[in-house]
Amino acid sequence: MSGHFTEVINFDGNDFADLSRSILQKGLPLRFKAFGSSMHPFVKHGDIVVIEPLKSEGCRVGDIVLFQDRSGRMRLHRVIRKKKDESFIVKGDALEFTDGTVREENIYGKMLSVERNGVTVEYNSLKMRANGLALALLSPLSFVIYPVVKKIKKIFL
């Protein structure tokens, strides 16, 4: 029997939050299909992401984290700042505004990898960590940068 599973199970928001929290709190990785475009271009709608449980070192600026927002919904966004009170400011790369402050107890894990078209990109490599940190620092300008990059790609590619 193969060790690969291809069955997709759909959950509503509350069930997904409960299941995610339960799996990650047991120290197991979570694999799911991303929904939405807030992390474009690094995570696209339909990509498969793997989340690892939050370890003792916690979150760092640049990490892409799975957290529960104030409304109870699970989000996969980037840490762009750590505050003095040990909480974090998170934001979708393609979004203009932040999600506000998220306490570490509401962050369940961080993205380990993303799979797209049969290719897996590991996010814990030095190169991807550096890219994540750069994006976090440039995040306030993302709503200006991405449309320009998109236009340049259309012209030259």
Give dist(CA 71, CA 40) in Å, integer: 22
Helices 126-138 and 142-156 cross at an angle (nearest 10°) of 120
Does 27 have pLDDT greater than 90? yes
Q: Phi/psi of residue 31, each to 5°?
A: -125, 125
Give dist(CA 33, CA 6) in Å, integer: 11
pLDDT given at position 142: 66
Q: Phi/psi of residue 119, each to 5°?
A: -110, 130
pLDDT given at position 1: 42
Give dist(CA 75, CA 116) in Å, integer: 19
Q: Which CATH superfamily is domain 13-156 in?
A: Umud Fragment, subunit A (2.10.109.10)
CB 78 within 8 A of CB 63: yes
Span 58-86, average pLDDT: 91
Q: Which of 44, 74, 58 is nearest to 66 (CA)?
A: 74
Reported as a single tens digit per residue, the pLDDT across 101-152 is 999 989 999 999 999 999 998 988 777 777 777 777 777 766 676 677 677 7
